[in-house]
Amino acid sequence: MLLNDHEQWQQNPRKSETTSDLLLWLLQVNDSQFPSGAYAHSMGLEGHMQRGLVKKPEDLETFLERQIVPNLLHFELPYLLRAHQAASANDQTALQALDHELDAWKLGAEMRNASRQLGNRRLAMLLKLDQDEFLQNYAVQQPPCHHLIITAIELRNAPPATAACAFTYQTISGYTSAAMKLIRLGQERCQGILRKTITQVAPDLQTLIDQPTDRIGWFNPTLEISSMRHARAHERLFIS
């Protein structure tokens, strides 16, 4: 599925990088050593743990399966694909509009700020690694720089499915990494949960690309409440 997508992309006149360049770039920017600051965020998971909603590895699996994967499939990935399309078309105006709109979508201040912080850290690092005129021009406008938007820009020369895979991996591995610091969870079990969760997303990615929907959004007030409360928690390990 992804190979077909990649072959189609190879024929795209905008493609400017070789497959190996692209793969190496993808590995570097998704590596846990890449200093995006993601290690400092639990994205609401710590709040869930404080409320007693996630206490053990089985709870983490359920949380990812029923709250995070649906949010990816119904909101973040379709949004990422819109941003990727705009970035691939060099449409900075559309990207900025999507970036500002995310401020309204992310109701919880802590989650909103976390998304901006991750995006800005990622953007700053990318600018140091690559003389990318498109990125430089985008940064000059001082947009919110949500993580999702910056990921779409950094991978605009990759096929959309690749960008979606990268964002999916970043999101889910962020949660599993945070979980290891919050609950009794070993590395092997963590990798098992990560693998199980990302394979849950994979079959739907091509559908998202082939049949983009006008209607996006997901209902998760519990995670929003956890995030809002976390901002004022007496004790906390993570920024979000």
Partner 1 sequence: MKGHLHLICSRNSLGQNHLRQQSFRAPLHLSKPHDDEDTLVVNLVTPTAGVFDDDEIDYNIHVEATARLTLTTPSSSRVYRSRNGGTGRVHQHLHVAAGAFLEYYPEPFIPHSGARYHQQNSLHIDEGGSLMFFEWLSPGRVASGESFEYHELRWDTDLWYADQLVARERYSLTPAEDSVSALTMTYPHAHYLGCFITGIEPPIDAIEALNSPDIYIGCGPLIHGGHTIKAVCNGSLAARKTLRALRQLLYTAHQKKPPHLGRFG
Footprint of partner 1 (CB under 8 A): 51, 53, 62, 66-67, 70, 74, 100-101, 103-105, 107-110, 112, 215-229, 231-232
* Shortest distance (Å) from residue 159 CB to partner 1: 27
* Shortest distance (Å) from residue 161 CB to partner 1: 23
* Shortest distance (Å) from residue 133 CB to partner 1: 29
165, 205 in Cβ contact below 8 A?
A: yes
Q: Which is nearer to partner 1, 91 or 224 (CB)?
A: 224
Q: How many CB atoms lie within 10 A of CB 23?
A: 13
149, 102 in Cβ contact below 8 A?
A: yes
Q: Which is nearer to partner 1, 23 or 107 (CB)?
A: 107
Amino acid at 125: M
Q: Which is nearer to partner 1, 92 or 227 (CB)?
A: 227
In sequence order, the 6+-apart residues with CB closer than 8 A to the CB of 126 are 29, 132, 135, 150, 154
32-36, Cβ contacts within 8 angstroms, sequence gap of 24 or more:
32/173, 32/177, 34/122, 34/125, 35/121, 35/125, 36/118, 36/121, 36/122, 36/125, 36/147
* Shortest distance (Å) from residue 219 CB to partner 1: 4
What is the rounded distance in angstroms from the CA atom of residue 162 to the CA atom of residue 177? 22
Q: Which is nearer to partner 1, 105 or 169 (CB)?
A: 105
* Shortest distance (Å) from residue 107 CB to partner 1: 5
Q: Which is nearer to partner 1, 50 or 177 (CB)?
A: 50
